[in-house]
Amino acid sequence: MEKELSSKESLAIITQMISKAKKEAAGDGSFQLLLWGWVVAICNFGHYTFEKMSYEMPYIVWLLIIPAVGLSIWDNIRKRKRARVKTHLDEMLAGIWISVFVGMLITLSFMPTLSFQQNPIILILAGIGVISTGVLVRVKVVLLGGILLMVGSVIAFLLPVIDQYLVAGIAMIFGYLVPGYYLKTTYRERV
C-alpha cells in the first residue's frame, strides 16, 4: 500500500521534477555553440587573413561550413534519440534557431544586394538566437553573449567590409564560444 504524501512532500517532489526537466531541457547546448563558434570564427579570421594577403579566393575557407552542417545534423539526431521527453522549451528553442538559420540563409543569398555587408546582419540574427536562448534557459552568460553579438554588429556596420570579418570572428568568440564553454562546464555540475 502506498504512503500518502503530505503537501510539503508533494511540493518538494514537484519542485524537484520541474528542476530536473528544466535542466534536461536546457541540456548541454554547448555542442552547437562550440561547433558554430569555432567554425564561424575560424572562417571569419581566415577570410580576413586571406584578403589581407591578397589571396585570390579568400572565401574558400568558408567550405569548412559543409562538414559543420553534417556534424550539427548528426548531433541533433543523436540528441533526439536520447531525449526522454520533448518539452515546450525544446520546441521553442528549435523554432527560434530554425528561424535564425533561415534568416541567415536569406541574408547570404542576397550578399551582392547587401554590398557584401552580410556579417553585421548575421551577427544580429545570431544575437537574437543567443539572447532568446539565454532568456529561455535563464543563463546570464548566454544572454550576455547574445548582447555582445549585437554590439559586434553595430561595430561591424561602421567598418569596411574586410574589417567586418575580423569583428565577426571576435564577436563569435565572445558570443558563442564563451557561453558554450560556460554551458559545458555548468551542465556537468548540474547533472
- From the list 146, 180, 153, the residue with the least C-alpha distance to 35 is 180
Q: Where in the chain are the domains?
A: 28-190
Residue with cell 555540475: 189
pLDDT tens, residue order, the chain (191 aa): 566 767 777 667 666 665 655 555 445 678 999 999 999 999 999 999 999 999 999 999 999 999 999 999 999 888 888 877 777 888 898 899 999 999 999 999 999 999 999 999 999 999 999 999 999 989 999 999 999 999 999 999 999 999 999 999 999 999 999 999 999 998 755 54
Report the 3 state secondary structure along the chain: CCCCCCHHHHHHHHHHHHHHHHHHHHCCCHHHHHHHHHHHHHHHHHHHHHHHCCCCCHHHHHHHHHHHHHHHHHHHHHHHHHCCCCCHHHHHHHHHHHHHHHHHHHHHHCCCCCCCCHHHHHHHHHHHHHHHHHHHHCCHHHHHHHHHHHHHHHHHHCCCHHHHHHHHHHHHHHHHHHHHHHHHHHHHHHC
- Please tell me the predicted confidence (pLDDT) of residue 189: 59
- Please tell me the predicted confidence (pLDDT) of residue 108: 94
- Please tell me the predicted confidence (pLDDT) of residue 4: 73
pTM of the model: 0.83
- Please tell me the predicted confidence (pLDDT) of residue 191: 47
- Please tell me the predicted confidence (pLDDT) of residue 89: 83
